[in-house]
A and B are shown apart, each in its own frame.
Chain A
Amino acid sequence: MKEFKILAVIVALVGITYYGIEPYAHHIMHPEVSPADFSFKDLKNVDTKLAGNAANGKVLVEANCIACHAIDKAGYPAVMPNADAAASYGVVPPDLSSAGRIYDKNYLANFIFDPVTAMHLSGKYTPESGKAFPMPSYNWMTPQEIMDIVAFLQSVSPKVEGKEAHKATFEAACGRCHNMKYAGIEATTPKDNLKAYTGAVAPDLSQYIKSRGEHYLHSFINDPQLLLHGTSMPRVGLTEEAQEEVIAYMEETGDSKKAERESLGIWVLLYTFIFAILAYLWKRKIWSEVH
């Protein structure tokens, strides 16, 4: 029928245009990067097959880490207020209570061994730059000792689930740098300190689920350098599960009406469909008199 032909022509023209300005243009402007690697294969300094001894780890942590880090859940409070910590280190060292849960084991061990390499920030902390990363490398420790620390951190991490976990993971992993205004979260590091420390403004992440989308975040958080080459945002080394919790939190905050939108959408479409059918029947009736 003629009207279907016309419709087909319009659909084809609109379809070609749409393809050009949406999927195709997107593909050109945002080339695909290599897939996220949640086993952090590039880090190989510590043999993670060694079984760690948490009791020995506790001793090592007390001797080496708690001067800077709080581990609230294990009874080590912060040694100084955030403002002072930020002034001393540039950024507030994160509370390590959930470190054993949110960081990948291989990443965490290698991070302790050599933080700059693990975070993919070697480009920033070059010998020529004169900058020093605030946390020392523990490359003098034996792999066994490092795995003991990892075992200890894993043993103290509390089990959390659901929305509570989403928020907790975000705060532990991103909270020292990023605000989340729409959830009332302010970065623990004061803005000016952080700017001096990273050399860039860490943006408020309230709407980043919308502006960047899940697909981008999935690669970006796993390894920021792939998408923003030379950025000072560190690779944080989250497990896939923890990263999903962070993204879920970004969605709960930035797109809180998603569920409502999708369920209402179905009903509206159903209703409109009924309207369209009734309109068609009415049209048939009316036009049968004139044709």
Chain B
Amino acid sequence: MAEFKKADSMLEWFDQRLGVVNFAKVMMTEYWIPKNINFLWAMGVLLTVLFTFLVVSGIFLLMYYKPDVNMAFDSVNYTIMQEVAYGWLFRHIHAVGASVVFLVIYIHMFTGIYYGSYKKGREMIWVSGMLLFMLFSAEGFSGYMLPWGQMSYWAAYVITEIFGGIPVIGDELVVWIRGNFYVSDSTLTRFFMLHVLLIPLAILGAIVFHFYALRFPHVNNEEGEFFDFDEEAEKYLAGNKKESKVVPFWPVFLSKDFFVLGFFMLFFFYLVFFHYDFAMDPVNFDKADGLKTPAHIYPEWYFLWSYEVLRGFFFEIAGVSGKDLGLMAFGFANAIFLVLPWLDRSPMVKPANQRPYFKYWFWFLMADLIVLTVYGKLPPTGANAWVGFASSMTFLVLFIALPFITKAEAKKVGGK
């Protein structure tokens, strides 16, 4: 065992045993972030905070929630919302937080795409981010089932039904997922388990992985500039703070994040207290009834774009049924972002607007996703169905074309 001398302070005592001084340096005061960044680089910290909110409010909800089809609805809408002191507050924070976390995830993702932060060494940051996106999607979906309202039930019914389209094993798979032939008590209880245990654990792991993946390539900056972080860090430590291109995570980077967080929280709490219908759909305040199909079934807003890709193919093409085509397109849409770093063949790491071809691609994609999202909610009848078809096709074409567009761009800029 190592020799320990008597510690002169509490800090030293802990430092001897846990190496806290060094740890704080590595994680905070000498973890270097580029100076040239805007508030979009605060989204990661916003997400961390929102995730914490979700965990804490979730723990409070867990104390009164009952995962049983006969009790779930009332345990949420009566016990938690009306009987338990401030139960409503925790539910509102949880429901609105779950919705807003996706808004911030999308901003975070598209920031990454806009600035090209997924390539030239940052591939694993991107992949770990997409892993988080998928886990959050599963978390959102499983959580939405828990209040056992009409939308909980029917969205669960429709989404689990999708797996039935997979060849050969489809039907068995649906039964395996539901734990029954229809969405039932066993479905609720297992989604409860997933929502409060397995997926949150996986998310925690994925967050750690995401942060670790940021360590070596470092975060990108507004101009996509590459520089020697060690050199810049030395300048900073030598006191040339204004000259150095980097700032430490603590306190400099975080001070900006706190400021962004403050104003974001103002928006967030406004939604929590005064404007929460978008996150707590009124239809879900009707108790689940397997015999009464609601007039309109739609998933939460953050799934609408991929849901519309699924619905967009509503007629047979070349002997393949619309349903199967939709399913394939849906699978494509959900997997394609994962391989984005390899679809972008241009070496340029620059904001999209400084890239001659990519900028069109980027803004087209944004517009298409908005159209998909809006039409994913509207009833798919008449002209709406065709808008859905056109925007789904556009989505597919955009991604199939991306390698060619970026290859051409690489040629034009000559490998810069």
Contact = CB atoms under 8 A, between A and B. Distances in A.
Contacts of A6: 38-40
A21 B296 contact: no
B269 interface: yes
Nearest to B273: A265
Contacts of A277: 262
Given A282-B258, A290-B252, A272 B39 contact: no
Contacts of A213: 282
A63 B74 CA distance: 46
B127 interface: no
Contacts of A261: 88-89, 92, 273
A208 B274 CA distance: 19
Interface string A204-220: 00111011110000000
B400 to A, nearest CB: 24
B258 A283 contact: yes
A286 B252 contact: yes
B63 interface: no
A80 interface: no
A25 B258 contact: no
A207 B285 contact: yes
Contacts of A20: 370, 373-374, 377
Contacts of B379: 28-29
Contact of A182 (B82, B277, B373): B82
Interface string B62-94: 000000000000100110011000001100100
A208 B282 CA distance: 9
A133 interface: no
A41 interface: no
Contact of B269 (A3, A16, A269, A290): A269
Given A2-B38, A257-B81, A262-B274, A272 B266 contact: yes
A285 B60 CA distance: 37
A22 B263 CA distance: 24
B103 interface: yes
Interface in B220-266: 241-242, 244, 247, 251-252, 255-256, 258-259, 261-263, 265-266
A79 interface: no
Question: Which 5 interchain pairs have the tightest Cβ spacing?
Answer: A276-B262, A265-B273, A20-B374, A211-B285, A210-B285
19 contacts: A6-B39, A13-B366, A17-B370, A20-B377, A21-B377, A25-B378, A29-B295, A29-B296, A207-B287, A211-B283, A261-B88, A261-B89, A268-B269, A269-B266, A269-B273, A272-B269, A276-B262, A286-B252, A290-B244
Given A16-B370, A264-B273, A268-B269, 13 more contacts: A3-B38, A18-B278, A21-B304, A28-B378, A29-B378, A206-B77, A210-B77, A213-B282, A265-B274, A277-B262, A279-B262, A283-B256, A287-B255
Interface of B: 35, 38-40, 74, 77-78, 81-82, 88-89, 92, 103, 107, 241-242, 244, 247, 251-252, 255-256, 258-259, 261-263, 265-266, 269-270, 272-274, 277-278, 282-287, 295-296, 301, 304, 366, 370, 373-374, 377-379
Interface of A: 2-3, 6-7, 10, 13-14, 16-18, 20-22, 24-25, 28-29, 181-182, 203, 206-208, 210-213, 256-257, 260-262, 264-265, 268-269, 272-273, 275-280, 282-283, 286-287, 289-291
